[in-house]
Amino acid sequence: MTEQHGSNAEQYMNELIEEDELLLQIKATIRENKMPEVSVEPGYGRLLTLLVQMSGARSVLEIGALGGYSGVCMARGMNAGGRIVSLELRPDYAEVAQEHMRLAGYGDQVEYRIGEAIHSLAELKQEGQRFDFFFIDADKLNYVNYLDYALELATPGAIIVGDNLLLRGRTLNLERNGPAIQTVREFNRRMASDPRLTGTLLPAYDGLAIARVKG
């Protein structure tokens, strides 16, 4: 009964949030290129725009670009002087994302770094870069590592967001204890209770964590 209620609620909210032509085009291009169809849900895409806008973030770090859906959503919340650094493992995915950012009018506000995100994060740390907003939506085995880097690269008051916390229900199944599941559970625990953060977890659309860095 609870699962059905959740499904009905998500369907109801999806019907209220109308995606524009560009976001629909991004999804269509992802499908045509046989890329994983795992972009952030429309409701959370809208939330990303709001969070970036309300936080006044001028520098955004995206871990996992895919086709640029979340990148466009976050860019829409930035002011004209904002910038996004997007980390993507695959150059072909980054190329698709960059084209969508260009179509959205944000091509000159985004920088793509290709390769293992952990290596790119180490480079950003060495460069002394700092960010006001983080969106984590990449390989789940590194979620805790990504959180550690986010805390090191964060400005005081920075916002950290992580997607897919429920892993399509696997996180809730105590009989499932694979490495990725255990990592996501630890990520969730820390986002909710790390003393350096004020955070919460949202259960809809496969789960989203939001936390603010204290200071």
Q: What would the pLDDT profile of 10-34 be if each residue is shown by its tens digit?
A: 888 888 888 899 999 999 999 999 9
pLDDT at 90: 97
pLDDT at 2: 37
pLDDT at 7: 72
Taking the whole predicted model, whether its pTM rises above 0.85 is answered as yes
Phi, psi of 28 (to 5 degrees): -65, -40
Work out the average pLDDT over 47-71.
98
For residue 5, pLDDT beyond 60: no
Name the region of 115 (left: φ>0; alpha: ψ -120 to 50; beta: rest).
left
Q: Which residue has the higher pLDDT, 11 or 195?
A: 195
Confidence of residue 209 (pLDDT cuts 50, 70, 90): very high
Q: Where are the alpha helices (DSSP H) in the chain?
A: 2-16, 21-32, 42-55, 69-75, 91-104, 117-127, 143-153, 179-193
For residue 3, pLDDT beyond 60: no
pLDDT at 6: 55
SS3 of residue 111 by DSSP: strand
